[in-house]
Structure 1
Amino acid sequence: MYELQGLKSEALEIYKEILKKDPQNGEARAAIHRLSGVRRHFPGVNETMKKFFVEMDSDAEFAEFERWLSRL
């Protein structure tokens, strides 16, 4: 989900945690490789949407976030 939102460094940290727990996880390893290259091209995070995502708790907020994602 983080990766789809453009939150590359957050996604990368989660994949690293997965790989620590399961060193044979090829999907996590591939994601780390992919994100390590992509991060250089997309610095920064949409902090407004990150905060909105972390704090959302209603169906209306989830729907709004989904609309935002579909525009990416």
Structure 2
Amino acid sequence: MKKNTITEASIYEAQGLKNEALEIYKNILKNDPENQNAIDAIRRLSGLRSKHADLNTQMLDFFIMMQSDEEINEFKRWLIRI
């Protein structure tokens, strides 16, 4: 199994491939939940606002732990609302 890296995600992000970069950052956080670079990137790419800090933390946790298509769709709906 290929290990994702911050560099790989950054390359996707620089190319405008936001969804692909987010998926890589998500995989990084599954293996390293304390990875601040991945956390910051997810916040940036997801449009999370600091004024919603409580909600951001909850949704970040949800984002990291989601596994089903239903959970992914719920996260997408949340992103559209913010």
Percentage of pairs with the same residue:
68
* Whole-Å separation in 1 of the counterparts to 2:40 and 2:32: 13
Larger Rg: 1
Give the TM-score normalised by structure 2. 0.45
Unpaired runs of 5+ residues, structure 2, are 1-10, 49-82
Report the Cα distance in structure 2 between the residues aligned to 1:20 and 1:8, rounded to whole angstroms. 18
Uncovered stretches (5+) of structure 1, i.e. residues with no partner: 39-72
**Count of aligned pairs between the two proteins:** 38
Aligned to 2:28: 18
Of the three residues 14, 18, 21, the one matched with 1:8 is 18
Normalised TM-score (structure 1): 0.51
Alpha-carbon distance in structure 2 between the residues aligned to 1:31 and 1:8: 10
